[in-house]
Amino acid sequence: MYRDHFGLTAKPFGLTPDADFLFDHCGYREALNVLLVALDSGEGFIKITGEVGTGKTLLCRRLLDVLAESHTTAYVPNPLLEPPELYAVVADEIGAGFNKATDSHHALKRIERRLLKLGGSGRSVVLCIDEAQAMSDSTLEALRLLSNLETEKRKLLHIVLFGQPELDVRLQDYALRQLRQRIVFSYRLPSLGRREVEGYVNHRLKAAGFQGDGLFAPAALRKLWFASRGVPRLVNILANKAMLAAFGQGDGTVRGCHVRCAVADTADARRGWLSWLRGVRL
């Protein structure tokens, strides 16, 4: 709606994870480095957690892209699976072959044979599970059994769990202690700092075709950071609404008043905004 008004070729603050708009901030680089180092070590589970909207899915997809040439990868975006369904998805992703009549025991055998074949050809296999906090205890246990597939010298399958902080709480359960003990690398994705929010906004604007400077006034960027608490998804929601407000008023610059309008229309941003109004120094 406002693209022509601001001289854009694409929508800069969409909510769908898009690698074309990837902002390579410090926390993101650290998380990706942890993943690559952990996978190179070849031991145990890897866990990446972060608050809603901090970019876990985008990081997962970036990891899959990085590994595409050197590894065989499997991706489970929907964790609401029973153990047989999980085995079916994994088998399909790695080309193991599966049918509904196959029981869990034989499914594991098929997966193991396929993993041995891939390993014999020099291909390591990485399984990424998104939104892992939503998995049932029985499915998490089935995932642990998958991790048991190994030769005398190495694991046949590397498993990366991406989840909200609730995943850490789930893993404290006594019944999941065997899985918890197998997590050898963990990383918590941080929110963006004030300067990072500024860089994030300007990066996405340039990726969307903006040619100028200062589309968001300094006061607007400060308010945007404070109200969003540095959560990228909230930054996107608020920035998009603020641009709509500026467009509606015929303004070529997004100002603090436009961000205030966006905050008033976004329930999850009001908590940060209350702190702003109480006079917290930026």
Q: What's the CATH number where 32 sits?
A: 3.40.50.300
* Domain around 257: 192-277
Number of domain units in the chain = 2
The two three-digit tokens of residue 263, written as one number: 């905050």
- Name the 3-class secondary structure at 247: helix
Q: Nearest CA to 215 among 20, 3, 6, 2?
A: 6
Distance between CA atoms of residues 132 and 148, nearest Å: 19
Is residue 251 one of the residues assigned to a domain?
Answer: yes
108 within some domain = yes
User: Are 173 and 196 in a shared domain?
Assistant: no
Spell out the long-range contacts of 89-93 with Cβ–Cβ below 8 A and sequence spacing 24 or more: 90/127, 90/146, 93/127
Taking the C-alpha atoms of residue 160 and residue 189, their distance in angstroms, rounded to an integer, is 14
Q: What's the CA gap between 227 and 63, in Å, rounded?
A: 30
Looking at 153, 188, 223, the residue that finishes a domain is 188
CATH for 270: 1.10.8
Residue 277 has pLDDT above 60, yes or no: no
Same domain, 83 and 198: no
Average pLDDT over residues 63-73: 93
Tell which of 188, 212, 232 closes a domain.
Answer: 188
Question: Do 201 and 153 sit in the same domain of this protein?
Answer: no
Which H helix or E strand runs over 226?
helix 218-228
Whole-structure pTM value: 0.88
- How confident is the model over 160-190, as pLDDT tens digits? 999 999 999 999 999 999 999 999 999 999 9
DSSP 8-class letter at 10: S
The gap between the terminal CA atoms of the chain, to the nearest Å, is 32
Q: List beta partners, residue 232.
A: none
Q: Determine, yes or no, domain membership for 7.
A: no
The predicted structure's pLDDT at residue 278:
57
Provide the pLDDT for residue 101: 55
Residue 5 lies in a domain: no
Percent of the chain clearing pLDDT 90 (strictly above): 68
Residues 247-259 have pLDDT tens digits of 999 999 999 999 9
Question: Cβ distance 154 to 42 under 8 Å?
Answer: yes
Are 103 and 155 within one domain? yes
The model's pLDDT over 185-226, given as tens digits with 9 standing for 90+, comes to: 999 999 999 999 999 999 999 999 999 888 999 999 999 999
Query: Do 237 and 251 belong together in one domain?
Result: yes
Per-residue model confidence (pLDDT) at position 281: 47
